[in-house]
Structure 1
């Protein structure tokens, strides 16, 4: 399985109303220390894909701005709000409340 496929497998597990960070996804995909690779993989995903790309944010709980994403940043915020994710007036997500805590599978 490729690195991108591992990333997409992890991202598909993030439930509605929760978010994960790029670093968290990298770690769960066995790509420790490669959060940018997660960003690159998610940038390649079509906005209408079944991969919930919008549920991945940066470690500060913010949407990472991408000048190349053609409205994707606004779309990401709207999609998260529709799932019940709340943003502070400064645009941050409370990670204590909304961060996905996957259960370990043995």
Structure 2
């Protein structure tokens, strides 16, 4: 029982670190899942970042849409509702897509 609580606390701590980094990504820039993981002190946890974003509480104001994959693409299925929402949010911030990709040299968050 104590071990489960300890594991849950560790998971919540990692999640909080991820959310802190996501909240710091400036408007008009993007970060990759791997970049967020590394900045949160969790190198190699890119997939965990995706799970954390999936588990964001309803009504969260974190800019989850600024997180894309390392190829500069949105990870949702193209033309899905979530894909279009993320695309719209990024375009409103002035991010330009060419061939469904963001130019990471231009738009990736420089820390």
Q: 1:68-101: CA deviations, max 9, x gaps? A: xx7221100000000000000x200000000001
Which structure 1 residue ranges, 5 or more long, are not aligned?
none
- The 8 Å contact of residues 47 and 72 in structure 1, kept in 2 or not, is answered as no
Distance (Å, rounded) in 2 between the aligned partners of 1:86 and 1:66 = 19
Structure-to-structure mapping, 1:1-20, within 5 angstroms: 2-20=13-31
Q: Larger radius of gyration, structure 1 or 2?
A: 2
RMSD value over aligned CA atoms? 1.8
Q: Which runs of 4+ in 1 moved over 3 A?
A: none
Which structure 2 residue ranges, 5 or more long, are not aligned?
1-11
CA shift, 1:46, in A, is 4.7
Q: Please, which moves more after superposition, 44-53 or 71-80?
A: 44-53
1:84 alignment counterpart? 94
Bigger proportion of residues as helix: 2
Q: Normalization by structure 2: what TM-score?
A: 0.83
Q: 1:8-53: CA deviations, max 9, x gaps? A: 0001000100000000000000110010000000111257421100
1:73 alignment counterpart? 83
Task: Tell me the matched-pair count.
Answer: 99
1:94 alignment counterpart? 103
Q: Normalization by structure 1: what TM-score?
A: 0.87
**Which of 5, 18, 33 is residue 22 of structure 1 equivalent to?**
33
